[in-house]
């Protein structure tokens, strides 16, 4: 039996139970800097790092696109820190998240991030892997470094099929 999930548009309102949407168009918290030559969109998300020798890291990654419909077999979480993905180009990407149900992921929810939107997963939040759509895509990543195992993976007994909206 195929379990089908269709991605919804990513908005601050429909993603709030899973994390933070990082985007400039929906905040009033911005102000000019550098003598008025730049606009700072302030505190769009909060990085969280805990555990032994914890620190916040800033990295980049180039993601390879996936075929759709996507067969979702696994989600992961990071017990010691948040994880943010900020696209460096104007391309959409897929976001998959699950509520925690007694230490295991519940039913996945899928969201389609519009060009210019990023996301921040809170510490211990079940989520899918980075999933660019259509072509390779570069992302800035803000996450936790330090000692200890900061990755937990969960493989579903039966996969889900994730579809993009029509």
Map out the domains of the chain as residue ranges: 3-163
**How confident is the model at residue 77, as a pLDDT?**
98
Residue 72, Cβ neighbours under 10 Å: how many? 22
**Each residue's pLDDT expressed in tens, for the chain with a length of 166 residues:** 789 999 999 999 999 999 999 998 766 788 899 999 999 988 899 999 999 999 999 999 999 999 999 999 999 999 999 999 999 999 999 999 999 999 999 999 999 999 999 999 999 999 999 999 999 999 999 999 999 999 999 999 999 999 999 8
pTM above 0.85, yes or no: yes
pLDDT of res. 27: 66
Does domain 3-163 match CATH 2.60.120.480? yes
Contact 162, 94 (CB under 8 A): yes
């Amino acid at each position: 039996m195929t379990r089908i999930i269709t991605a919804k548009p990513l908005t601050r309102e429909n993603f709030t139970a899973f994390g933070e949407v990082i985007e400039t168009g929906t905040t009033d918290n911005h102000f000019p800097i550098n003598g008025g030559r730049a606009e700072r969109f302030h505190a769009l998300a909060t990085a969280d790092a805990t555990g032994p020798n914890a620190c916040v890291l800033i990295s980049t990654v180039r993601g390879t696109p996936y075929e759709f419909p996507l067969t979702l077999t696994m989600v992961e979480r990071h017990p010691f820190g948040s994880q943010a993905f900020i696209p460096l180009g104007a391309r959409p990407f897929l976001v998959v998240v699950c509520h925690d149900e007694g230490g295991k992921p519940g039913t996945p929810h899928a969201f389609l991030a519009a060009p210019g939107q990023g996301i921040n997963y809170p510490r211990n939040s079940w989520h899918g892997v980075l999933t660019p759509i259509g072509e390779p895509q570069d992302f800035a990543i803000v996450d936790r470094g330090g000692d200890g195992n900061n990755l937990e993976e969960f493989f579903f007994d039966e996969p889900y099929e994730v579809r993009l909206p029509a």
